[in-house]
Amino acid sequence: MNQTEARKRIEKLRREIEEHNRNYYVFNDPVISDFEYDLLINELETLEKQYPEFYSEESPTRHVGSDLTREFRQFEHKYPMLSLGNTYSIEEIRDFDSRVRKSVMGEISYVCELKFDGASISISYSGGSMEKALTRGDGTRGDDVTENITTIKSIPGRIGSDAVPASFIARGEILMPRSVFKELNEEREKEGLNLFANPRNAASGTLKILDPSLVAARKLDCLFYSLLGDDLPADNHYDNLKKLQEWGFPVSDSYRLCRNLDEIIGFIQFWETRRNDLPFDTDGVVIKVNSLDQQLQLGFTAKSPRWAIAYKYKPERALTKLLFVSYQVGRTGTVTPVANLEPVQLAGTTVKRASLHNADQISLLDLHEGDMVYVEKGGEIIPKIVGVDKASRSDTSMAISFIEECPECGTPLVRNEGEANHYCPNILHCPPQIKGRISHFISRRAMNIEGLGEETTDLLYTRGLIRNAADLYDLKAGELASLEGLGEKSASNIIRSIEDSRNVPYYRVLFALGIRHVGETVAKKISVRFRSIDKLISAGISEITEVEEIGPKIALSIKSYLNNPENIELINRLRSAGVQLESEAEEAATGNVLRGKNIVISGVFTKHTRDEYKEIIGKYGGRNVSSVSSSTSFILAGENMGPSKRAKAIELGIEIKNEEEFLKIIGEI
């Protein structure tokens, strides 16, 4: 490789890695495995050493990926949160040990810990009470997610012991148990939402939800791995971990004090397969120098501590034959290709199927009929095809093309511009979509009708007893009792649960209708602005897009649904059945000082939450809108106001009021 070729390759690698960093840290949707990512990083590091003339402080080898987002307020880390150097080689662990022993004096011991795969968190405590919780961010600054962290029951808000330092920082990994992850993805699949690739992505994405009640519902957990501060109880990492446990912090019992290389290797080998039995995902082992003084002597590189290294287990993969590709139709009509495989053992389970996601994935893999394919388990949970053994491919095998018609109803499939998925537009008459919408309607977070599982719903549909959600309210106990697997008691309980669902609040009914792109959070926001289904039906697209975070795509989907006569008939039947299609009467307006004013909210506030300010604006006669325009009366701005909103306000001459000025207007101060 000459100098010109090296420069081009280095620039290309930097662009690719930064894109993968965004996918991983910001969007929680990685498109390559950790192993593939590490190969790219290693190649870039090697080239940068060979060609130092192309050195750049901005290279991804010089800094950690960033998960900073505009929605949260940022603070500086007292101690930088750096990434760990990692390896897949025992030989490189030997080299690490050799470097450490050459660099410091005295006896050396290490602490080996399992590397749990979640979202890093740094929580500061003062006077024994939680003060602030920050994400890794860019390593220097992190997002303040304290409100969300307080919903995680395993994390102590206050330490009972009097022996804790005046201030300290506990660092850990926010985790989603595999069982919770499985339930979450099953719910998302029923709702027609994209599935999380693995528990790490689910945990990280959950941590950035703006509604703490939704965070609490996700049942996150945490395991702590580090204690930092100026007045620590011990001069070594091992004993400080023990103190964290004594103070009530959850710490994995798997960590071990190792006094030589053989013990480190023994730890790595011991957990290589046993880790699959743990409730959380792990992807390796972290080896840390135990002595804090020796850690200080060894210091840091620009990106990583020199006193620690992560040994990564290679992802377990298997080679098996692709038998055929089938296609599943989801509740919202999304068509997902599924690879059907010759059964193969992988990570302790038998794998027979793997998701192919969409047509682009099939094309990227260049899949042919009868290919021998490499299968991995993404996050040890979801099997995925990661490659093809093209050397074994038959010369006569045909490339696999995505189907053009719905496999269930024969309707030509549609793929909207800018979307990855194909979907069946026959929304009202495609059987899987009908059954999927009914299952969604009765689900726990929608109408919460108990006793009607997927099998029973399918049976009711097959027998012709239900064709849409409104038919549920016409069911009789006798009809249900005669079905296979149900008796009089079960039938009575189902009918009672259907009766109870008439009291489910309007926003959940709106969510239960299964409108494309309208999830639980969107339904809540819409129900605040349009307090009855009739007001929403009469609203125009421009009015709907004025609701915060509701763009043209969602607004168009809502109007498309409500413009369909069959959907209006469904809504009218639900109304006749006594289902709640409007919010309870609003409290009388507190005043009219904001009457006729369109107010944009931006930033982070201290006196009230954003949702509380939206409610306050409505009570005083005003209207909360999401985007800045010439009709905006003023902007209520907190800290970290969005720069695009600020620029637009300055351009249009829109007044910006801070929290104190706003509260004076309504007479709160």
Contacts of 475 (CB under 8 A, 6+ apart): 460, 465, 466, 494, 495, 498
CA atoms of 632 and 659, how far apart (whole Å)? 17
The residues facing 175 across adjacent strands are 221
CA-CA distance, 549 to 552, in Å (whole number)?
10
CA–CA gap between residue 44 and residue 89 (Å, rounded): 18
Q: Which of 404, 465, 402, 473 is nearest to 434 (CA)?
A: 465
Provide the 10 A C-beta neighbour count for residue 345.
11
Backbone angles phi, psi at 657, to 5 degrees: -110, 140
Task: Name the nearest CA neighbour of 544 among 487, 625, 644, 467.
Answer: 625
Q: Among this protein's residues, is 115 annotated catalytic?
A: yes
> Which residues are CB-contacts of 665 (< 8 A; sequence separation ≥ 6)?
593, 594, 657
Concatenated DSSP letters for 428-478?
A: TT-HHHHHHHHHHHHSTTTT--TT--HHHHHHHHHTTS-SSGGGGGG--HH
Q: Edge-to-edge strands of the sheet including 119-126?
A: 129-135, 119-126, 167-175, 221-228
Please report, in angstroms and rounded to a whole number, the separation of the first and last CA atoms in the chain: 69
Question: Which residue's entry shows tokens 């030997």?
Answer: 94
Q: Amino acid identity of 407?
A: P
Residues in the chain: 669
Which residues have a Cβ under 8 Å from the Cβ of 80 and sit 6 or more positions away?
139, 140, 300
Match 């900073």 to its residue by tokens: 68
Cα–Cα distance for residue pair 587/619, rounded to 1 Å: 8
- 3-class SS of residue 96: helix
Residue among 426, 432, 431 at smallest CA distance from 405: 426
Report d(CA 122, CA 78) in Å as an integer.
10
Q: Which of 115, 208, 435, 645 is catalytic?
A: 115
Distance set, CA 552 to CA 542, 544, 614 (Å) = 8, 8, 21
Beta bridge partners of 545: none
d(Cα 558, Cα 562) in Å, to the nearest integer?
6
Structure tokens at 462: 């097959």
Triad 451, 456, 458: Cα angle to 5°: 140
Parallel, antiparallel, or unpaired: how do β-strands 74-76 and 86-87 relate? unpaired
Nearest of 578, 575, 459, 562 to residue 514 by alpha carbon: 562
The token pair that represents 634 in the structure block: 């003023």
Is residue 527 within 8 Å of residue 583, measured between CB atoms? yes
Give me Rg for the CA atoms of the chain.
28
Q: At 101, is the secondary structure helix, strand, or coil? A: helix
DSSP 8-state class, residue 604: B
Catalytically active residues, by annotation: 115
